Amino acid sequence: MRVEVLEGAERRRRWSFEDKVRIVEASYEAGVSVCSVARRHGIAQGLLFTWRRQAREGRLGGDEQAPVFVPVAITPGPSPAVPVLRSDDHDAAAQPRRARKTGVMEIDLGGGRRLKVDRDVDAAALRRVLDALEGR
């Protein structure tokens, strides 16, 4: 068996913090697979998954605070109730009714971000979401 020690330039690429953040953000875009992002940038999928985990934990590296990525699922909410007018409500039909949003709270998170929740929100789940958004 023959062993050679190669000297010279290191063959491992050094990724800047900005490059890592850009690649991790691309991997979270809708309809994009981690495999395709890794292939496009010439890195192993495992490395990209490691960077994603580090970003979630705030340990991606660099002097800046790594962005926190929180998985979000958007589901259609219930459609607003439409009042049914009886034939003797002709005066009411002339004046459009405003839909009231009862029990809706709007939380200003700063930086132009707002979170709206209704009165039936689970307090423990809301606390977890707020902690994740604040990077705790």
Q: Following CA atoms 12, 48, 54, 108 in sequence, which dihedral angle do they give, to the nearest 10 degrees?
A: 130
pLDDT digits (tens, 9 = 90+) for 11-64: 678 888 889 999 999 998 888 899 999 999 999 999 999 999 888 888 887 665
Asked if residues 58 and 69 have their Cβ atoms less than 8 Å apart, the reply is: no
Sorted by where each begins, the domain ranges of the chain are 17-56, 102-134
Rank 95-99, 106-110, 121-125 by mean pLDDT and report only the highest. 121-125
* pLDDT at residue 72 tops 80: no
